Every structure is written in C-alpha cells, then in structure tokens.
Amino acid sequence: MNVPDPSMPEPHMPEPQASGTHGPVPHVPDTQIDGKVPEVETPEAKTAEVETPGAVISGAETPEAKVLDVTGLTIRTDQGRALVSDLSFSIAAGSRLGLVGESGSGKSLTALAVLGLLPPGMTASGSVVLRAATDGIGTEVIGATEQRLTGLRGRAATVVFQEPLTALDPLMRIGGQIAEPLRRRRGLRGAALRRAVEESLDQVRLPEPDRIIRAYPHEISGGQRQRVALAMALACEPALLIADEPTTALDVTVQAEVLALLDGLVAQRDMALLFVSHDLAVVSAVTDHVLVLKDGSAVESGSVDDILRRSRHPYTRDLVDSARHLESALERIVR
C-alpha cells in the first residue's frame, strides 16, 4: 500500500466489495491512459477531422495490442453542442478501465460511440480504433460503413446495458435471445446450439435452464435478467466488454453477486473491460484504472489507488469524498 495522504481523515477506503467466488483480481496494470488531462478550464473543443473512415490500421504500428484506442473523441448534437469533448484513452487486451462521472457526463455516449451506435442526430469526430483480439487488425470506427461496423460489433466489443428489462426483447424467449449471438458467432445449429445456450446459462449461474430458456424476459427476476444479458454479451466472445452501469438497476445484494460474476467471467476469459459507472466504489472494486469524466471531458485519470488517495482535481475529490461519506455514514449506523 502506498503512503496514505495525511489530508484524508480516514485511510480506510471503501475496499473492493466484490464478494463471492472471485475476489478482486489484481490485474495487469497495462491500461495506459494517455489522455492528456486537461486543465480545469474546459479545453477548446477541437474537432479532429475524420481520418480514413473504416480504414484498416495494421497492428504493427502499435507495439502493444490495444483493443480500444480513443483519441480526441468529440461528440456533438445536431445543434453543435459538444456532449463529449476531446476524450482520449486506450485499453490494452485483458486490462480494465473504469469510466466514472455523474449522470449526464457523457459516459454512456462514449460507450455507444465506441461501437458507432450514437443516437440519431449526434455526430462523433476524432478517432476510435477497435481491434478484435485475434487478428490484431484495428478498424477506425468513426465514419466506417454500417456493414463494417456490423462485422466488428460483438467480435471486437459488446455492451451490457444498465436496465436488463428494456435491453432484452420482450417478445422473444430467453433461449432465442442467447442463441442469436451463438448461432452467428460460432455457427451452431440444432442440438449443439441448445447445449451451448444451456452452457451459457450455467456460466452465469442461472438455475433451471429449461425454465429460463422458455421464459420471456418479464417472467424472470431483475438479477436473472442481467445475468441473461451478461450471458448474451459473453456469447459474442468479444475482445472488449463494455459494461454500462450493469448493476445500477439491481438491489444491493444482487448487485454484489452480479458484480462478482462479471469480475470472475471477464478475468477467466482474459477480456478487456470498460466499466462505466457513476459509483466510484463499484468501479474501484472491478477495475484497476479510472478515468473521471465531467461534462464530457476527462478531468483526471490514473490507477484506482491514485484516484482514491491522491486525486488532484476538486471534482474527483468530491466524488471520492461523497463515496467515503456514504461509507462512513453506513459504518456509523452499523455500529
């Protein structure tokens, strides 16, 4: 442990509470955040011109295999207002990055922009390079054709969303929804497909596979739905899993279970993880590096430890303090 900052009254931090089978695995800290942390004043939102849309960027150019490389990402509404400005970060294969910020800070938009799925009317500029782990060939997402992106999504990266009830098709049985990526990705049919679906359900520890497979999303509980969503994402076997507030919509107890499950499965498959959340405690439990967003621009970035103990930016300190405040308030009640 590093020397605790004397300014912090309690050296006791909200330790990662990823209870369950897989503890917080100390990950290879190879997440490199090369985003220049801007000054407190908002930087001039510079719009980098879109360079070679959909271009194949050879893996040889970058020494390490980065599954995601974002440089100068700016997202604008059709009125020209910048919702995310000049954001830069990268994630190496198998490493984890937390994207923290209050609601409206552009976290989820960033996650969607990575896959080229911005809502209509919004435009992204800058550069987002996704790289499917196996071939090491990077693809520029911004400006790429829909066809190219469709091939890339799922393989290079996929998303687990916040609200599993709306993220699952209400009129399709769970079995069918999990089968879809399996069929596409692994070319499975018939009995083999059925077995693979059962395996995926087993991986996310869902009991009674027969019932779940036949159930509609509204017939299972919230935690079960999020496990299904996780199973669907994992069935894509992505190089990078983007988790957009995956536990926010769940009860606290279920939240811990799902978080532990996510943590374990990602570690087991050596997937990279981009974890988007407003909850610093949750993020610090799962990731090793954190990027703090405020009003669409990066305020601070660094290892979890640095951010928690030696945050330089007042906004980050606010976030840490409020997390700490909640923790100590809970402690007081428990005592």
Partner 1 sequence: MSERTTDEPTTDEPIRDEPITEEPTAVELTKTAPDTGEEPGGPGRSGRPGAASVPVRRRRSPALVAGCVLVGLIVAVALVSLFWVPYAPDDTTGGRLMSPGLPHLLGTDKLGRDLLTQLMTGARIALEAGLGAIAIGTALGLCAGLAAGFATRWLDDTLSTLLDVLIAFPTLLLAMLMVAARSASLSSAVLAIGFAMTAVVARLTRILVKRVLAQDYITAARTSGTSWPRVITGHVLPNIWPTLVVNLAQQFGLAVMTEASLSFLGLGAPPPNASWGRMLHEAQATVFTAPTGVIAPGVLLVMLVVGVNLIADGLRDALDPTRRRTR
**What single string gives the DSSP state of each residue in 57-98?**
E-GGGSSS-EEEEEEEEEEE-TT--EEEEEEEEEEETT-EEE
Confirm or reject binding of residue 112 to partner 1 (CB under 8 A).
yes
The stretch among 230-238, 253-261, 306-314, 323-331 that binds partner 1 (CB under 8 A) is: 230-238
Confirm or reject binding of residue 233 to partner 1 (CB under 8 A).
yes
Confirm or reject binding of residue 54 to partner 1 (CB under 8 A).
no
Question: 174 or 323, CB closer to partner 1?
Answer: 174
Confirm or reject binding of residue 163 to partner 1 (CB under 8 A).
yes
User: Residue 300 burial by CB count (10 A; 0-12/13-18/19+): exposed, middle or buried?
Assistant: buried
- Tokens for 215? 């159930």
Query: Of 124, 89, 92, nearest to 109 (Cα)?
Result: 124
Which single residue is written with the structure tokens 């359900």?
201
Confirm or reject binding of residue 276 to partner 1 (CB under 8 A).
no
Binding residues among 209-228 for partner 1 as defined by CB under 8 A: 211, 215-216, 218-221, 224
Taking the C-alpha atoms of residue 77 and residue 17, their distance in angstroms, rounded to an integer, is: 38
Confirm or reject binding of residue 170 to partner 1 (CB under 8 A).
yes
Confirm or reject binding of residue 154 to partner 1 (CB under 8 A).
yes
Confirm or reject binding of residue 167 to partner 1 (CB under 8 A).
yes
Confirm or reject binding of residue 144 to partner 1 (CB under 8 A).
no
Binding residues among 173-202 for partner 1 as defined by CB under 8 A: 180-181, 184-185
Taking the C-alpha atoms of residue 239 and residue 59, their distance in angstroms, rounded to an integer, is: 15
* Residue 315 CB contacts under 8 Å (≥ 6 apart), including other chains: 292, 294, 299, 300
Min separation Cβ 311 and partner 1, Å: 32
For 143-151, the CB contacts below 8 A with 24+ separation are 143/50, 143/53, 143/54, 144/53, 144/54, 144/116, 145/53, 145/54, 148/54, 149/115, 149/116
How many residues touch partner 1 under the rule CB under 8 A: the total is 41
Question: 26 or 121, CB closer to partner 1?
Answer: 121
Q: List residues binding partner 1 (CB under 8 A).
A: 112, 115, 117, 146, 150-155, 157-159, 161, 163, 166-172, 180-181, 184-185, 208, 211, 215-216, 218-221, 224, 229, 232-233, 235-236, 242
